[in-house]
């Protein structure tokens, strides 16, 4: 039976690709890639010469029916994003939903995703958590923060470096400066860093240096 495979790719360190990910990427008929240049470099590194097709936020609505048709006609397809697991703050959901609707089998390989190592290493409870991903940048942001402030589970955010200070200042206002927080930067890369403390302490720390790289923020939930 042909399938849709969701294949996680490294979030920095290429050693984090799995043996199965390499095999599946070699075996499928086509790889759908968010950015064919980024994925092209990864494929080259692992000696994979499978054909790629662009699949991103701007063409997915148009492409999805064509892809389901290809799978139904017998082709195996793999979806990858630029880094990490497709569908996690990346395209993937729409294709999965439509494949399932069409009776196509969907399999997601386990593999890299940025929030899991950040959450587990945070020292903040990781048994129950809410994954928020990126907060809305403008409209709805305050409403969302007010709602999140009431959640008793650990909160997990993705954030860009140039918005980190703003986010920490808002967290201080909405969640309280004394809540525990952990900010992980550049996970699996050379300059990997995790800063833990209260929101006030971590805000002070990042105000003293230029913030660079990719970021995951983990915040303690509301005290019960």
> Are the C-beta atoms of 172 and 195 separated by less than 8 Å?
no
Question: Can residue 124 be called a binding residue for ligand SAM (CB under 6 A)?
Answer: no
Residue 168: name the closest of 121, 114, 122, 219 by CA: 219
Q: Residue 12 or residue 221: which is nearer to ligand SAM going by CB?
A: 12
Residue in 39, 81, 154, 172 binding ligand SAM, rule: CB under 6 A: 81
* Pairwise CA distance, residues 34 & 173, whole Å: 36
Q: Residue 122 or residue 224: which is nearer to ligand SAM going by CB?
A: 122
Question: Can residue 10 be called a binding residue for ligand SAM (CB under 6 A)?
Answer: no
- Please state at what angle helix 60-72 crosses helix 93-101, rounded to 10 degrees: 40
Question: Can residue 38 be called a binding residue for ligand SAM (CB under 6 A)?
Answer: no
Quote the least distance from Cβ 83 to ligand SAM, whole Å: 5
Helices (H) and strands (E) in the chain, counts: 8, 10
Question: Can residue 182 be called a binding residue for ligand SAM (CB under 6 A)?
Answer: no
Quote the least distance from Cβ 113 to ligand SAM, whole Å: 3
Question: Can residue 67 be called a binding residue for ligand SAM (CB under 6 A)?
Answer: no
φ/ψ of 212, rounded to 5, equals -130, 160
Q: Identify which range of 72-80, 119-127, 147-155, 156-164 contacts ligand SAM by CB under 6 A.
A: 156-164
Quote the least distance from Cβ 29 to ligand SAM, whole Å: 23
Name, in order, each residue with C-beta under 8 angstroms of 131's C-beta and a sequence gap of 6 or more.
88, 115, 156
By Cβ distance, which residue is nearest to ligand SAM?
Answer: 84
> Are the C-beta atoms of 57 and 91 separated by less than 8 Å?
yes
Residue 158: name the closest of 223, 90, 108 by CA: 90
Question: Can residue 215 be called a binding residue for ligand SAM (CB under 6 A)?
Answer: yes
Question: Can residue 137 be called a binding residue for ligand SAM (CB under 6 A)?
Answer: no
Residues that bind ligand SAM (CB under 6 A): 11-12, 81, 83-85, 88-90, 113-115, 158-160, 184, 186-189, 214-216
């Amino acid at each position: 039976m042909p399938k849709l495979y969701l294949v996680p790719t490294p979030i920095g360190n290429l050693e984090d690709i799995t043996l199965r990910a390499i095999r599946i990427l070699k075996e499928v008929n086509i790889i759908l890639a968010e950015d064919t240049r980024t994925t092209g470099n990864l494929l080259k590194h692992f000696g994979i010469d499978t054909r790629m097709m662009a699949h991103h936020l701007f063409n997915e609505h148009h492409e999805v029916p064509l892809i389901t048709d290809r799978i139904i006609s017998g082709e195996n397809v793999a979806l990858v994003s630029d880094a990490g697991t497709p569908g996690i703050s990346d395209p993937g959901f729409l294709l999965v939903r439509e494949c399932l609707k069409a009776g196509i089998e969907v399999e997601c390989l386990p593999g890299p995703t940025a929030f899991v190592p950040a959450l587990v290493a945070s020292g903040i409870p990781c048994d129950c958590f809410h994954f928020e991903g990126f907060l809305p940048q403008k409209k709805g942001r305050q409403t969302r923060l007010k709602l999140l402030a009431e959640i008793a589970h650990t909160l997990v955010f993705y954030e860009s470096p140039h918005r980190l200070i703003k986010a920490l200042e808002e967290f201080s206002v909405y969640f309280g400066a004394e809540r525990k927080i952990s900010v992980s930067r550049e996970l699996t890369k050379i300059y990997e860093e995790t800063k833990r403390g209260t929101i006030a302490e971590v805000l002070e720390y990042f105000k003293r240096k230029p913030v660079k790289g990719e970021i995951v923020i983990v915040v303690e939930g509301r005290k019960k």
